[in-house]
Amino acid sequence: MNSLEERVLAEIEARSDDLVALAGDLIRFDTTAREPDDPPRDEAALQRYLGDRLGTVGAEIDIWEPAPEDVAGSRLVPPGLAFEGRPQLVARFPGTGTGRSLLLNGHIDAVSVEPRERWTSDPHTPVVRDGRLYGRGAVDMKGGVAAMTFAAETLARLGVRLDGDLLVNTVTDEESTGAGGVASVAHGVGADVGIVTEPSGFDVWVACRGSLMPTITVAGRPGHAGLPQPHWREGGAVNAIEKAALVQEALRRLEEEWQTRADNQHPYLAPGEIVPTLVAGGEWIVSYPASCSISYHVAYLPAQADEAGWGNAVERELEEQVARAALADPWLAENPPQIAWATDVPAAEISPDEPIVQTMLAATHDASRPGQVAGMNSWHDGATYTHLAGTPCICFGPGPIEAAHTVDEWVAVRDLVDCARAVALAAMRFCGSG
């Protein structure tokens, strides 16, 4: 490392308490992920807080509320989703114009705190215990947002003028739809590459799985459950729950096939999965159920996606599997299951040979937290920027992802500091620093 890099690392180390305070401030804002019709919470106040901080150290601040038409037609976003009270933010530190630009991205929403009564302390009140910062969003991903913000602030405070632009972009709605990322791309946010500071445990994630969320509804025929029933062709009742089990078994077999199929293997990701997550069926305890619905979370690999990352081929494969199962059962053959598709979350990957991957690996090594190339079996906003903005993104951030969405969510204080150090180094090296 050169003397300027050493100075930046030492500054972040010396001001680690300020970084923890920043992460704690973000936790105090209630930005719980929403249903489409929920009123805004503290999203606007959080974005203003970050905008004020970054503006104070010289960033050009743009905070805006997207229009519904900015995200209309996206397969990620439910129709009619609006952004009143939920603005997006991009803070730009202009470079000299001679280097490559870098986007730092993070989402400000966090999942529900329920069951709240199981938390050791108030989930919206940050607490440090035994070297860990606790609170909802601590690791997913207000800790990452704090680390990338602090890295950018430190460079600016020390007068480090990068050769390329550095952008700090915080978005809403990652946990519910991905709408904030889509809206940011529509607004023109993009760069040569991006780093999303999701909790990667200091590994460099170069790939993520996509996901589909179908609900399959199977019809039955109601009748008295306490009476013997004639054959259904003679007007007898049909148990929709039992018929839905045939569909469930067919999809279980397909998932089993995926585990060994060549197009469902990846060096950094687990094979695709078809997981039943919600079941609803029946009307009365002594009546044959008239219908049964099963909702699924279907994870698929980049190789199963189309060029834009979407799961059209996976949709067709599931539909064909369900249709084959229905044809094998006389009732279902005449009363085919109905499939309703919700949002599609795109898969994405970039080459491990991309310069930002090697830059990030070297930076985290020099920040004393070596990592390796890996992948995220879930999804992150970087997929949106990779596909829609032409900004190839990696994930790199503090903490273990296993701590996300849990009761007593936490991130290690040491992880926050080392992440900020590594991101600052990566920015200097990728963008150039004179």
How sure is the predictor about 31, in pLDDT bands with cuts at 50, 70 and 90?
very high
pLDDT for the residue 397:
98
Query: Is-cis flag, bond preceding 214, omega within 30?
Result: no
pLDDT, mean of residues 206-231: 97
Phi, psi (degrees; rounded to nearest 5) at 425? -60, -45
Share of the chain above pLDDT 90, in %: 95
Are both 163 and 265 inside the same structural domain?
Answer: no
Regarding whether 203 and 223 lie in a shared domain, the answer is: no
d(CA 13, CA 20): 11
Round to whole Å and give the CA distance between 124 and 1: 39
Contact 410, 139 (CB under 8 A): yes
288: left (phi over 0), alpha (psi -120 to 50) or beta: beta
The CA R_g of the chain, rounded to the nearest whole Å, is: 24
Residues 304 and 302: their CA atoms lie apart, in Å, by: 5
Answer yes or no: are the C-beta atoms of 425 and 154 closer than 8 Å. no
Band the pLDDT of 173: cuts 50, 70, 90. very high
Active site residue 366: no
* Residues 59 and 70 reside in one and the same domain: yes
Structure tokens at 394: 């990696």
- CB count within 10 Å of CB 110 equals 28
pLDDT by residue (tens digit) across 226-275? 999 999 999 999 999 999 999 999 999 999 999 999 878 999 999 999 99
What's residue 248's pLDDT? Answer: 98
The per-residue pLDDT for 262 is: 87
The CB-side HSE value for 294 (13 A sphere, CA atoms) comes to 23
Same domain, 382 and 360: yes
Asked if 291 and 419 sit in the same domain, the reply is no
Catalytic: which of 5, 42, 65, 109? 109
**What domain count does the chain have?**
2
* Cα→Cα distances 322→53, 171, 212, 358, Å: 53, 37, 15, 44
Whether 299 and 360 share a structural domain: no
> What range defines the domain where residue 251 resides?
211-345
> Does one domain contain both 9 and 156?
yes
- 360 plus 328 within the same structural domain: no
Return the biggest CA–CA distance within the chain.
Answer: 87
Between 131-140, 190-199, 261-270, 289-298, the lowest mean confidence (pLDDT) is in 261-270
3-14 vs 413-431: helix axis angle to the nearest 10? 150
> Which of 345, 379, 395 is a domain's end point?
345
Q: Can you read off the two tokens belonging to residue 69?
A: 């038409």
173 is catalytic: no
Please give the sequence-ordered ranges of beta strands (E in DSSP) within 73-154, or none if there are none. 88-93, 102-107, 127-129, 132-134
The reported pLDDT for the residue numbered 263 is 79
- DSSP-assigned letter for residue 29: S
- Return the pLDDT at 368: 93
Domain boundary among 324, 345, 366: 345
CA 317 – CA 33 distance, rounded (Å): 31
Angle at 356 between CA 187 and CA 186, to 5 degrees: 10
Block residue for tokens 């040569």: 192
Helix (H, G, I), strand (E, B) or coil at 360: helix
**Annotated active-site residue in 165, 174, 366, 418:** 174
CATH number at residue 237: 3.30.70.360
Q: Are residues 198 and 225 in the same domain?
A: no
CATH code for the domain in which residue 167 is found: 3.40.630.10
Both 79 and 182 in a single domain?
yes
Q: Is 381 exposed, middle or buried (0-12, 13-18, 19+ CB in 10 A)?
A: buried
- Mean pLDDT lowest among 82-86, 129-133, 200-204, 308-312: 308-312
Give yes or no for residue 434 having a pLDDT over 80.
Answer: no
Are residue 63 and residue 155 in the same domain, yes or no?
Answer: yes
User: How many CA atoms lie less than 13 Å away from 295 in the CB half-sphere?
Assistant: 9
- pLDDT tens digit string along 92-103? 999 999 999 999
Q: In whole numbers, what is the pLDDT of the chain averaged over residues?
A: 96
Neighbouring-strand partners of residue 134 = 127, 410
Residue finishing a domain among 311, 345, 379: 345
The tens digit of pLDDT for each residue in 36-65 reads 889 999 999 999 999 999 999 999 999 999
Same domain, 180 and 39: yes
Round to whole Å and give the CA distance between 199 and 376. Answer: 10
The model scores a pTM over 0.85: yes
